[in-house]
Amino acid sequence: MPAEIKGIAPRKWQMDAVYQVRSQAQAGSDRALIYACPGSGKTYGGLMVAHDLVHTVGLGPKIVVVTPNEAIRTQWIDRAASIGLNLRHLRSGYDLRQEELALSELGFIVSYQKAVTEIRESLRDYCERNRPVVIFDEVHHAAGPSKKKDGNAWGHSIEYAFSTAAFKLCTTGTPFREGDNPISFVSYNGAQEAIALVRYSYQQAIEDGVCRPIEFTMFDGEMSWSAAGQSFTASFGDPLNKKRSGQRLLAAIAVDGEFPQTMLTKANERLMELRSGAGVDARAAGLVVAHDTDHAEAIAMELQAITGEPATVVHSKIDDAQKQIEAFREGNSPWIVGVAMLSEGVDIPRLRVGVYASNITAPLYFHQYCGRFSRVMKSRHERSYVFMPADPELEAIALQIERERCHALGEEYRPHLRTVGNGKGRCRREIEVLNSNGDVKGVTVSGKMLPITFIEAHRDQIRSFRQKGAQYATWTDAEVVGVMIDCGAIAMPEEAA
């Protein structure tokens, strides 16, 4: 049995992780990779594994946790404290030069940035002297240098500081960074694929009732913009090269057009429907991820115009951003807007609705963003809803998530059908929007695209079906139609078959 941690009832995958990592360590290995999807309990899982390595295997006896940012660091400290494990925020190398921590303290916690830029030598000395167990949270941040411009050069510094640690426990909730950036302390097979000792996927988490399924609503439209003296007009269905595709996405999310207003309005309608329910749904919240800090502020103004109340805004230029996040987590405000600091790792369980208004199309980033909406709070039927541009790269990632969702719920997956909507667009500084327009076309449920006209035509039947059970009260019309189709109450429309 694993060493007992007071106040926690382990999930099955967490227990499996403890046993598998223990066996790996007892066989002489000094590292392991755990992949567990966002919302599945990766933080508690990591603490359980590290605790077992110390108290059962006999490593350590202290632990060092390395996290991507301050918000995630605070969550690790809070999670550890909730089960009687105390982590000290590592503020400087002086903390490491003390002979020992207080008996009540499990170890230190530090950000990747501080570890590689400020106290690398102190950490190396501490690891040589104390041989701690180190947890690398979201280990893709420890990628090595690359010839590419976007290479993450922290990898060598991480290896230098922590190579002598007794055990390196790497965790991640998302697919790894693509390209030729090797990740510190991660083993690879002959095909250069990362080898995870423990895998707990989004599909498994939905099957176990651990994570919410996510329903995507995609928006399309005709964006017109100019750049470098040339004018362009395109929808997301038009083939473009990478440069023009990026400009099209920027034109769509910019707030001086109508595209983002359309997404925000539809998303807010869904959020208000959820908040009209009882219990935790009454505190349901929405998250918009923006392109940059100026864009976030502009999005917040658009939301205020739609909702009549100010949205919480957090980004790197706000001094008390972490306090704002914590206040929003515990509060009742409907919307929060941010940039990168909200897209990864930040745990706000009441988030149910998202608007993806970023120009980043990397799978890792998008998966992390979707992970903000996956934690179950009330019932297995809980769903989250993400409203997003129908950019081809983003659509491909969303459809992969949809594939896992459908498989987990026993629903049919139809890869050629998708949630589609339309709106108007705006640009960023290097392009100028000339014109844009569009309308909502449909919603995807159970892997099927249902046209809005089909849903409208069955409005009376939807209303009657809702009266059959209270559980349908907060379901969307599309969700109810999906159930009606599955039970044979209405037929699948030809255009969706």
The pLDDT value recorded for residue 408 is 59
- The pTM of the full predicted model, rounded to 2 decimals, is 0.80
Tell me which of 162 and 347 has the higher pLDDT.
162
Across 53-61, average pLDDT: 92
Across 29-45, average pLDDT: 92
Across 138-158, average pLDDT: 66
Q: Which fold has domain 212-391+422-437?
A: Rossmann fold (3.40.50)
Residue 50: HSE in the Cβ half-sphere, 13 Å Cα cutoff: 32
114 phi and psi, to 5 degrees? -65, -40
The Cβ of residue 335 has, within 10 Å, a number of other Cβ atoms equal to 26
Answer yes or no: is pLDDT of 309 > 90.
yes
* 12-200 CATH choice from 3.40.50.10810, 3.20.20.70, 3.50.50.60, 3.40.50.880: 3.40.50.10810
**Average pLDDT of the chain, as a whole number:** 81
The Cβ of residue 293 has, within 10 Å, a number of other Cβ atoms equal to 16
Domain coordinates in residue numbering, the chain: 12-200, 212-391+422-437
The pLDDT value recorded for residue 11 is 92
The least confident of 262-271, 453-462, 472-481 is 472-481
- CATH topology of 12-200 equal to that of 212-391+422-437? yes
Percentage of residues in the chain having pLDDT higher than 70: 79
* CA–CA distance, 471 with 72 (Å, rounded to integer): 35
For the chain, the residue count is 497
The pLDDT value recorded for residue 361 is 92
DSSP class per residue in 212-260: --EEEEEEE-EEEEEETTEEEEE-TTS---HHHHHHHHHHHH-TTSSHH
Q: What is the pLDDT of residues 211-230, one digit of tens each?
A: 888 888 888 888 888 888 88
Across 2-28, average pLDDT: 86
Computed over its alpha carbons, how large is the radius of gyration of the chain?
A: 24
Q: What is the pLDDT of residues 230-281, one digit of tens each?
A: 889 899 889 999 999 999 999 899 887 889 999 999 999 999 988 986 555 8
Answer yes or no: is pLDDT of 87 > 50.
yes
